[in-house]
Amino acid sequence: MANILLKKFQTPYNTAPFSEIDNNDFLPAFKQAIKDAKSEIDAITNNPEASTFENTIEALEYSGEQLDRISSIFFNLNSAETNDTIQKIAQEVSPLLSEFSNDVTLNKRLFERVKAVYKTKDSLNLTTEQSTLLDKKYKGFSRNGANLSDDKKEILRDIDKKLSKLSLKFGENVLAETNKYEMLITDEAELSGLPEGAVEAAKQLAESKDKEGWLFTLDYPSYIPFITYADKRELRKKLALAAGSKGFHGDNLDNQQIVLDIVNLRYERAQLLGYKTHAHFVLEQRMSKSPEKVEHFLNELLEKAKPAALNEFENLQNFAKELDGIEHLEKWDGAYYSEKLKQKLYNLDDELLKPYFKLENVIEGAFTVANKLFDLHFEEIHNIDKYHDDVLTYKVTNSQGELISIFYADFFPRSGKRNGAWMTSYKSQSKKDGINDRPHVSIVCNFTKPTKSKPSLLTFNEVTTLFHEFGHALHGMLANTTYPSLSGTSVFWDFVELPSQVMENWCFEKEALELFARHYETYEVIPMDLVNKIKASATFHEGMQTLRQISFGLLDMSWHAIENPGSITSVKQHEKEAFENTKLYPDVEDNCMSTSFSHIFQGGYSSGYYSYKWAEVLDADAFEYFLEAGIFNKEVANKFKDNVLSQGGIEDPMILYKRFRGKEPQPEALLRRAGLIK
């Protein structure tokens, strides 16, 4: 029987035929698709005609489409619905893909053809998008070793192979550590302080594993309520220590050596390519341009945020001492006493809010906001395949009824799914042969599951997470570019968080909340006093939160902007030094963040974690524009859609942003919103 992955999918909207794919299909499909892609590359390289934009640059852009499609299906499953077989295939496939990628970028004759077009670019009369594509293709070669001597190319190949395997192993270890840990409570008194929903979920989890009592894990919907509400300090400590020591036990799941190996290989690679450090290599293609500018940006924010953070921390410490006689606040006390203090100051408890945020209503709310802003319509459909029963599937159309996107949403934790929340795509948008091929976009989260007595009720933090990922999804859905590699979220990493972070703002606005924040039993709209409290508390502990994000950004830079990381022998000691200037809580010797810092050692955020704060500057500035005109103002929404969401990476992001906003972003907007300046 022919391999389903190598045929044209006979499915509605050309969606992935998950139910027909056997895991054993993947490896042979990858091998064949790589072989086919190589043939396409050979055809470009061996073309007897002189190089042109069409026969070289465009041909290269559209080569390997099938391989890209198989890769997106496979690696998305490896994140959201993995198992031992898939992980084993990933370890086999990653070096093959790395090798193929190097076969392309290190192909001398192919680079000569690309270079020939690049040299004549000024006389080619290219569109803006074509110019960007040409520039991207040329740099894709020059930045990845095309100008190296043959012996150095071989070293680069070896480094890339090793890196692809190491980052996979890093992620597998973190997932295994998360899945492995369980805290079983058998004494009901030890559940004191926990919300009823968290207790019920823990009971249900224990029952599902044939255990007596209440089971808590490191999955966020289990971990966060416990660390926030459990009165028993010793148990909070136990769970926090387990979460903070993932990959740091000196056993077969330990990530310390992997971190050092990744950092050293990235440095070696950058040096080989003529860059001072990995960060210099990465940031050349970011809005920030250099590590020096990133460090200046983070330290400038630190200067503004640190006094506020120290003041907030002192108040929190005094509050904990007053309330429970706690002399020294520890990391496992932060969320607990912050929540208690927030309740005291604002009379606002997440548990009071949750009944108004039934998952289905919040999803509908996100859809309504997207409809009011961008004229999008979402219709749940049941005629396409899913990779798991939990997944919801939608057809997205515009007001003319034209297909805009297929949308997958996957909200609950399970053992084959990594923690956190992310947006991804199963198929990019592009235009070819007169057809605008629409994208297939997915968001994946880990929210509180429904229980026997309650639907899935979200914390306010989960509500903003859903809107955040939905913002990324809109960036993917509304893509309207010619070339797939410039489409949707294929933008500079410090720009990619703008659409996601700006969407979070609607969660704080009365006009938006009234659309979806309804009590799950009475259907009563969220009371105005609660809306006011949400807004008033929006900047609660903003100094501490900002300091936390800055600390992660500085840790990332400490690993990647350093010359000679080979001198680092202790991951823990290096991390302690990196955190020194942003530290509030006492250090916990048994804990280490780097060994589970998946963003930078498994995801694509190495030298890029600062981009969350960078994009906050953009999003605060952008949302001020909406606030001035009205949060559902069509003119501003259209400007945002036409100049940011639909444009992908076809132009420098600052040009796109200024076209939308009329000026460069002002950091004061963020500091104002955060309450750090008046």
Q: Tell me: do 101 and 45 sit in the same domain.
A: yes
- 463 lies in some domain: no
Q: Tell me: do 18 and 124 sit in the same domain.
A: yes
Angle subtended by helix axes 23-45 and 65-80, to nearest 10:
150
Residues 6+ apart with CB under 8 A from 216: 182, 183, 184, 185, 202, 205, 222, 223, 226, 239
The predicted structure's pLDDT at residue 1 = 55
Has 190 been annotated as catalytic? no
Q: Tell me: do 20 and 132 sit in the same domain.
A: yes
Q: Which residues pair with 396 in a beta bridge?
A: 378, 405
- 637 lies in some domain: no
Q: Tell me: do 20 and 97 sit in the same domain.
A: yes
The DSSP secondary-structure symbol of 632 reads T
Mean pLDDT over 179-200 rounds to 96
Catalytically annotated residue among 81, 268, 295, 469: 469
For 238, the domain range is 181-244
Q: Is 51 in contact with 117 (CB distance < 8 Å)?
A: yes
pLDDT above 70 as % of the chain? 100
- 607 lies in some domain: no
Q: If you write DSSP's letter for every residue of 128-197 in order, what string do you get?
A: HHHHHHHHHHHHHHHTTTTTS-HHHHHHHHHHHHHHHHHHHHHHHHHHHHHHH--EEE--GGGGTT--HH
CATH number of the domain enclosing 140:
1.20.1050.40
- Mean pLDDT lowest among 95-109, 235-249, 664-678: 664-678
Burial class (CB in 10 A: 0-12, 13-18, 19+), 193: middle
- 42 lies in some domain: yes
The predicted structure's pLDDT at residue 667 = 82
Q: Tell me: do 66 and 193 sit in the same domain.
A: no
Mean pLDDT over 453-463 rounds to 94
- 186 lies in some domain: yes
- 88 lies in some domain: yes
pLDDT at 676 over 90: no
Q: Tell me: do 141 and 232 sit in the same domain.
A: no
Q: Tell me: do 188 and 136 sit in the same domain.
A: no
Q: Tell me: do 93 and 137 sit in the same domain.
A: yes
pLDDT at 139 over 70: yes
Per-residue confidence at 483, pLDDT binned at 50, 70, 90? very high
Provide the number of structural domains found in the chain: 2
Strands (DSSP E) contained in 345-402 are 377-380, 392-397
Select from 94, 129, 147 the last residue of a domain.
147
The predicted structure's pLDDT at residue 560 = 98
pLDDT above 90 as % of the chain? 94
Q: Which of 155, 37, 23 is nearest to 90 (CA)?
A: 23
The predicted structure's pLDDT at residue 672 = 86
Whole-prediction pTM? 0.90
Residue 441 has phi, psi (to 5 degrees) of -115, 150
pLDDT at 524 over 90: yes
Q: Tell me: do 12 and 140 sit in the same domain.
A: yes
- 138 lies in some domain: yes
Q: 272-328: per-residue pLDDT in tens?
A: 999 999 999 999 999 999 999 999 999 999 998 999 999 999 999 999 999 999 999
Q: Tell me: do 89 and 206 sit in the same domain.
A: no
- 368 lies in some domain: no
Mean pLDDT over 649-677 rounds to 91
The predicted structure's pLDDT at residue 348 = 87
Rg (CA), the chain: 25
pLDDT at 23 over 60: yes
Q: 319-333: per-residue pLDDT in tens?
A: 999 999 999 999 999
Q: Tell me: do 194 and 135 sit in the same domain.
A: no
Q: How far is 266 from 408, CA to CA, in rounded Å?
A: 34
Q: Which two tokens stand for residue 319?
A: 């509050």
Mean pLDDT over 572-589 rounds to 97
Mean pLDDT over 236-249 rounds to 98
pLDDT at 159 over 70: yes
Q: Tell me: do 189 and 74 sit in the same domain.
A: no
